[in-house]
Amino acid sequence: MPVITHISSPLVSAVWLHTNLEAENLIVLDATINKQIDEHSVRIPKARFFDIKKKFSDTESSFPSTLPSADQFQQEARKLGIQKNSVIIVYDDKGIYSSARCWWLFKVFGFTNIAVLNGGLPEWKNKGHRINTYDNFEFSEGDFVANFNPSLMTNFEGVNLFSKDNNVLIIDARSEARFTCQVDEPREGLRRGTIPNSLNLPYTELLNDNLMKPKSELQVFFNNLKLENNKVVFSCGSGITACILALGATVCEYKDLIVYDGSWTEYGTLTN
């Protein structure tokens, strides 16, 4: 079986994945959020379930889906058979949603040989490729090593400093209605509001149905927000869709990107 040495793009197509699916060091992760795995659950062949909620977040945190420790991430990644030389393709069942969070988490913990399947499981099905159920699938424990990169994530204290810095842009991925406080937040008891000096770019603007828009179209959005020569912090409701904006910006080759881990759930809770 062939070996893939490096993956150069943050996105790959269903055609690419189908062509390379039997590569010896390729690992496919299903990062569908809140997925219940049973004999009826479907997956791309050989996909392993990346459980954001129960395995790859701090389950003791007051806020949802927050960053796990490096030890926890390393331990759980090894259980999935991830090796130092693995190449990872991650997808979810919405198209591009929680898969971007998985992609960003691996970057935070020092692993860059990972890409998101553009269009996710819906695109895989649209291309007529085979799917399996979650039957028994054994693999050896991996030797993945987590190396935490704190520059890629920020917290409540950090985002407060960034909001006062003229050289930093804070971009919120929530819908316009949520950003402008026209509707209640979906999380019960969470107040409406925005982070001071933040701008709005709903993550849905970056997508055509299940697929990420072409680079040329993404660049228009980011040019309008004047990302060039600025540090950029992405926020959302709970740190999931902020990573979609980070993915789009990475496609457009922006470098100085940060995700606010707790996002509005944390900020709105800790402020009046």
Residues known to be catalytic: 236
Q: In sequence order, which residues have a C-beta less than 8 Å from that of residue 191 and are 6 or more positions away?
A: 185, 268
| Closest-CA residue to 83 (of 58, 56, 42, 114) | 114
- SS3 readout for the chain: CCCCCCCCCCEECHHHHHHHCCCCCEEEEECCCCCCCCCCCEECCCCEECCCCCCCCCCCCCCCCCCCCHHHHHHHHHHCCCCCCCEEEEECCCCCCHHHHHHHHHHHCCCCCEEEECCHHHHHHHCCCCCEECCCCCCCCCCCCCCCCHHHEECHHHHHHHCCCCCEEEEECCCHHHHCCCCCCCCCCCCCCCCCCEEECCHHHHEECCEECCHHHHHHHHHHCCCCCCEEEEECCCCCCHHHHHHHHHHCCCCCEEEECCHHHHHHHHCC
Separation between Cα atoms, residue 131 and residue 42, nearest integer Å? 6
DSSP bridge pairs for 90: 29, 116
